[in-house]
Amino acid sequence: MNPDVIVPVILCGGSGTRLWPLSRTHYPKQFLRLVDEFSLLQNTLRRLEGLAGLGLAITVANENHRFLVAEQLLEIGLKADILLEPAARNTAPAVAAAAVHAITQGGRENSPLLLVLPSDHAIANVAAFQNAVRAAIPHAQAGALVTFGVVPDRPETGYGYIRRGDIVAGGYALDCFVEKPDAETAQRYLDCGGYFWNSGMFLFRADSYLEALDRFAPGIRECATAAVAGDRHDLDFVRLDHAAFVASPSISIDYAVMEKTDRGVVIPLDAGWNDIGAWDALAALGLADGQGNTRRGDVLSIDTHDSVLLSEGRLLATIGVSDLIVVATPDAVLVADKSQAQEVKTLVEELKRSSRSETEFRHIVHRPWGSYEGVAHGPRYQVKRILVKAGASLSLQKHHHRAEHWIVVKGTALIVRGDESLLLSENQSTYIPLGVVHRLENPGRIDLEIVEVQSGSYLGEDDIVRLQDTYGR
């Protein structure tokens, strides 16, 4: 690789707790389709189309989300190196691992430019975004650490700020970072015009970033180098060495490097940027109707104003309300005043303390072979709808506490049950007794759908003993 190559580094580790109940631990907001038919992750990559010199992207993801990342990249026809973090260590170590990986992949002759992007932001004006990137390239090629400062349009107290310094070509020298201000200070920043919102997006040469770590946070560089040196390939993924990566300090790029460097440059970004940090942010995306309502799904509203109304399934109806957030999923309903949008995070923390499963999974749980959806449950039973993609199979497994009945409603199922092998078509069924080794496979060319009825004393997902697994779980 060389400094004319731009390697996108997409950070996929966000949790998005303020967008509960759509965003869950195992399906956070970067995988949601909030703006259009594409997820936020997919749009992060799609908005790079047309930039000259793009190399193969690197995504840095949580191990639990690896199949989601791979599936969403496949949907839009893109490939990437998918680095798996064995533990969350914030942005500085994640980007350090990506930088070492990029240089290693390039044969060490030259250092590519890294365009570091969070995977959960929305940008309305793609052309303006790309122009900002182009303005940043000469500075990054010369060794500067470039960040993109969002031109503020309101006195926002929920963002950190960047104060600009002297004028440079296409932007400014980076003077300093400023913590989230109170309302009066935010208004002063807006009035004076010398401040930008901190976007968390960067452009720099991989070696420039690593050299900065050597100077300001050498422990991160050492751990990242060791994590990449000890990595191993697993299907489509690159697993960073667990011990080396976990040993790294947990710190953001801002604190580790950008607040200390004297080589910082800030490029203004006026492109309709939105980090969709909470439900009230959807209104700023231009999705609201004439009454100021942002609506998704089966929603009927009468005399309703300035509200966020989303439903995944059932009819959501409102009458005579305003400034509300109402989000209905099959397993949870959120009702909140829009002014309290940031407090959804507090609600999620309380749910976690109560060990509520609604914080972990959505009603549809994605797996590398397809997905399953809870339909009904009660004491000693639950019913699921299972979808298996063409050519895919579940692991060879058994359960200690439950038996299962399978009914094929679409497609063809190849089933291993003990020493037997069964081929079932629509409207046929079978029974898997407790403790019997079994596997479900779709040998056909269309999706397989089955209804599974589980019965037993314990029905948790951790009652699975995997004997063989195509996906290395």
Between residues 253 and 376, the one the model is more confident about: 253
Amino acid at residue number 360: E
CATH number of the domain bearing residue 444: 2.60.120.10
Please check whether residues 188 and 107 belong to one and the same domain. yes
Confidence tier at 234 by pLDDT (50, 70, 90):
confident
| 87 is a domain residue | yes
Question: Do the beta carbons of residue 23 and residue 44 sit within 8 Å?
Answer: no
Taking only the tens place, the pLDDT of each residue in 325-336 is 999 998 899 999
Residue 177 has pLDDT above 80, yes or no: yes
| 281 is a domain residue | no
Please check whether residues 193 and 297 belong to one and the same domain. no
CA distances from 329 to 18, 296, 311, 384 (A): 15, 12, 6, 17
Q: What is the pLDDT of residue 377?
A: 84
Q: What is the mean pLDDT of residues 348-374?
A: 89
| 473 is a domain residue | no
Reduce the DSSP state of residue 410 to 3 states and report it.
Answer: strand
Please check whether residues 347 and 369 belong to one and the same domain. no
DSSP string, 140-166: HHTT-EEEEEEPPSS--SSS-EEEEEE
DSSP string, 13-28: ----GGGTTTSBTTB-
Q: Residue 320 class from Cβ within 10 Å (0-12 exposed, 13-18 middle, 19+ buried)?
A: exposed
| 357 is a domain residue | no
| 279 is a domain residue | no
Please check whether residues 297 and 423 belong to one and the same domain. no
Q: Tell me the percentage of the chain whose pLDDT exceeds 90.
A: 82
Domain range for 308 is: 287-352
Please check whether residues 297 and 317 belong to one and the same domain. yes
Distance CA 40, CA 206 (A): 25
Residue 470 has pLDDT above 90, yes or no: no
Q: For tokens 């060791």, what's the residue?
A: 226
Choose one of 296, 326, 352: the last residue of a domain.
352
Please check whether residues 160 and 70 belong to one and the same domain. yes
Query: Which tokens sit at 9?
Result: 């580094």
> What is the DSSP secondary structure assignment for residue 54, as one 8-state letter?
B
Please check whether residues 184 and 132 belong to one and the same domain. yes
| 358 is a domain residue | no
Please check whether residues 310 and 195 belong to one and the same domain. no
Question: Do the beta carbons of residue 142 and residue 173 sit within 8 Å?
Answer: no
| 359 is a domain residue | no
Query: Roughly what angle, to the nearest 10 degrees, separates helices 218-229 and 91-105?
Result: 50
Q: Residue 127 class from Cβ within 10 Å (0-12 exposed, 13-18 middle, 19+ buried)?
A: exposed
Please check whether residues 249 and 144 belong to one and the same domain. yes
Question: Do the beta carbons of residue 324 and residue 318 sit within 8 Å?
Answer: yes
Q: Residue 416 class from Cβ within 10 Å (0-12 exposed, 13-18 middle, 19+ buried)?
A: buried
Please check whether residues 37 and 11 belong to one and the same domain. yes
User: What strands, in cross-sheet order, belong to the sheet with 332-337?
Assistant: 294-296, 308-311, 324-329, 332-337
Distance CA 334, CA 327 (A): 5
| 128 is a domain residue | yes
Angle at CA of residue 306, ends 305 and 310, nearest 5°: 95
Taking only the tens place, the pLDDT of each residue in 146-172 is 999 999 999 988 899 999 999 999 999
Confidence tier at 320 by pLDDT (50, 70, 90):
very high
Please check whether residues 143 and 225 belong to one and the same domain. yes
Reduce the DSSP state of residue 404 to 3 states and report it.
Answer: strand
Distance CA 46, CA 38 (A): 9
Q: Which of 248, 200, 185 is nearest to 221 (CA)?
A: 248
Q: What is the pLDDT of residue 268?
A: 97
Please check whether residues 94 and 209 belong to one and the same domain. yes
435: left (phi over 0), alpha (psi -120 to 50) or beta: left
CATH number of the domain bearing residue 261: 3.90.550.10
Choose one of 352, 380, 396: the last residue of a domain.
352
Element (H, E) at 384: strand 381-388
Distance CA 150, CA 166 (A): 17
Taking only the tens place, the pLDDT of each residue in 118-139 is 999 999 999 999 999 999 999 9
Q: What is the mean pLDDT of residues 70-84?
A: 94
Choose one of 218, 241, 274: the last residue of a domain.
274
Amino acid at residue number 418: G
Domains in the chain, number:
3
